[in-house]
Structure 1
């Protein structure tokens, strides 16, 4: 049962309250009026290093999965890696974390400003990353690899891949999360303003969002119509349980959900993840149990991070700044590392480099390009778009008749 009447009301005194969100990977952001120096000092002192550690871990696992497993799977001519991490786990957990922090931050300022802040944080670096990736794919083209043209660039910028995957190809496969984030933040804003985000109705929404995709799973794997597939994949139907898990973790950590209810909901989300990791192959129905178990373990880690104490007593002080720096650029790393990393690996192999050097080069390139994208595009664009919003908002209120 819910112990408070309003689902999206941020709990008083929460240590996560002053830790902002950004799509997929968060760094401190405050929605509303710029903080005073005193408030900023207090916010820094209350920041939980544990969240940065979790985000860093998730992004590192994503890069390892792409560098050591998916690179060779997609491009078999690449030399097999000595170390292989074959589990698809990091991106799923980052969706969970995003949903959690959406609940933490949505009550700050107006809902419209919250939504605009998410768009301002998510979209500009996505556009910047896509343009850079397109140019690299064109200028450093590899024989027999996909060579995109202008229509492919436009389709990727419009995020059409989930809707018509046979017609619209990914320039970078990591970007599958971006439209889901946009829909998730929009849904959060709508729920916050509606009665379905209040009282016990929110539990109906959560259970429906996780059970409905599970109930239609037999239809999903039975060669459904193209229209059905397009709608299900386009709206990320089979990923909804990840957002539900993030909301449930926030409700439990802020004591809006009892432990038995939370465990039941979390177990159902884990079951949905297991179904999602089944696919029909020529050999029959197969399951990726390794990835499923990894995600389930990650859900427990995220839940304990949300409700438990900070890890500042086990993380040495000297590690705080590097961890926070990496967490701060990790959205850029996420956007930039995959396709360009594959090209770097192939070019190094052509020069005689071995598998280990290729992996290290892909990881290093991802971090460097992610840092540049964060500094050159993400941070300035977010500041400019939020300043523009605040100016328009102020002028509109000033011009509006009072009383």
Structure 2
């Protein structure tokens, strides 16, 4: 699958926004900040919705061409779980070793349940609060796998109308089967990513534009605030710029780099960053400097994990499957 630098830029923007949100607004909520609240980057929380839209685009793209449900499942597993397990263990160890009275440590049983990535479904605490977004991602992957296996991906317009109807109904009335399994709270962003893919690569026309507009509407109905209206409008406009090749001029190396390390950065930055910032705060009075050092430090840690753990493990697992398939194929011949 071709790696698009513009998507790395969007990942970088999303990751940086989430990190700054957690180190300003979220840190203030949990521990308090001495500087004025007007400097908090509260809208950074919606970087997650941008991640969901990117996932919709990428996952739909990965299901095009010659692939199988086994390949799809293996690639998703190898992409998500090994790095996640590493980051869960690092976070668990650092928070527990820190013995910070305001940082809640976790038991081994909680750690083991976190290895599943779906601990939130069972109301089990996550080792890091940022992990909540992985559940919508997993259910989206499962949903797309089912559609692929049933050969329904060519019917995305019909599926989009039904799915959007359920999302809006759930926002207005709260459907009894809940929003987890069908992604009714965040599905509009995954769906928008799919529709943007169809416009860029699959001869999408005015139907896709109308459906994208409905995705935006569904997002606003689910989050009926003026701030969400403005932020979601910005996110959708960013993707339109990407689809029509207008983001190429913004493929700056810092954003591409942040996109490259975005998954470990997202998984590691919150609780480990909080521990670091609280330690730094004992020696540095300027909280803006504490936040800056926290961001730079966690970017460095995320790069180390990406460079020396995530990418080598992913390379090994992908090569292992490739060679295993090649051996099986030659054996069968």
TM-score (normalised: structure 2): 0.90
Rounded to whole Å, the distance in 2 between the matches of 1:137 and 1:251 is 44
Per-residue deviation at 1:57? 1.3
Query: Within 5 A, what are the aligned runs for 1:259-278?
Result: 259=206, 261-277=207-223
Q: 1:182-241 CA distances to partner (integer Å, 9 max, x unpaired)?
A: 33233323323323112xx22111122222021122333xxx87xx4xx52365331111
Per-residue deviation at 1:252? 1.8
CA contact (8 A) 1:337 1:365 kept: no
1:190 lines up with 2:146 in the alignment? yes
- 2:137 aligned residue: 181
1:207 to 143, 161, 167: 161
Rounded to whole Å, the distance in 1 between the matches of 2:198 and 2:12 is 24
Per-residue deviation at 1:368? 1.2
SS of 1:337's partner is helix
Rounded to whole Å, the distance in 2 between the matches of 1:398 and 1:203 is 41
1:373 lines up with 2:305 in the alignment? yes
CA contact (8 A) 1:95 1:243 kept: yes
2:170 to 216, 220, 223: 216
Rounded to whole Å, the distance in 2 between the matches of 1:289 and 1:366 is 32
Considering fraction of residues, name the structure with more helix. 2
- 1:395 aligned residue: 327
Query: Does 287-296 or 169-178 show the bigger shift?
Result: 287-296
1:75–1:207 distance in 2 versus 1, CA, 3 Å: farther
1:293 lines up with 2:240 in the alignment? no
Rounded to whole Å, the distance in 1 between the matches of 2:221 and 2:247 is 33
SS of 1:89's partner is helix
Query: Within 5 A, what are the aligned runs for 1:131-170?
Result: 131-165=89-123, 168-170=124-126
- 1:35 aligned residue: none
CA contact (8 A) 2:13 2:255 kept: no
CA contact (8 A) 1:336 1:370 kept: yes
Unmatched 5+ residue regions in structure 2?
none
- 1:245 aligned residue: 192
CA contact (8 A) 1:68 1:81 kept: no
SS of 1:237's partner is coil
Per-residue deviation at 1:288? 4.1
Unmatched 5+ residue regions in structure 1?
1-17, 20-27, 29-47, 278-286
Q: 1:301-320 CA distances to partner (integer Å, 9 max, x unpaired)?
A: 112202334524x66xxx44
CA contact (8 A) 1:338 1:366 kept: no
Query: Does 377-386 or 123-132 show the bigger shift?
Result: 377-386
1:144–1:65 distance in 2 versus 1, CA, 3 Å: closer
SS of 1:180's partner is helix
- 1:23 aligned residue: none
Per-residue deviation at 1:356? 0.3
Pairwise CA RMSD = 2.4
Query: Within 5 A, what are the aligned runs for 1:205-354?
Result: 205-220=159-174, 228=177, 231-233=178-180, 236-259=183-206, 261-277=207-223, 287-309=224-246, 311-312=248-249, 319-320=252-253, 322-354=254-286
Moved runs in structure 1, 4+ residues, more than 6 A? none
Q: Who wins on radius of gyration, i.e. which is larger?
A: 1
Rounded to whole Å, the distance in 1 between the matches of 2:126 and 2:228 is 22
- 1:57 aligned residue: 13
Rounded to whole Å, the distance in 2 between the matches of 1:266 and 1:74 is 36
Q: Count residues in correspondence.
A: 330
CA contact (8 A) 1:124 1:378 kept: yes
SS of 1:233's partner is coil
Rounded to whole Å, the distance in 1 between the matches of 2:312 and 2:5 is 25
- 2:49 aligned residue: 92
SS of 1:232's partner is coil
Q: 1:241-265 CA distances to partner (integer Å, 9 max, x unpaired)?
A: 1111111111122353322x22321
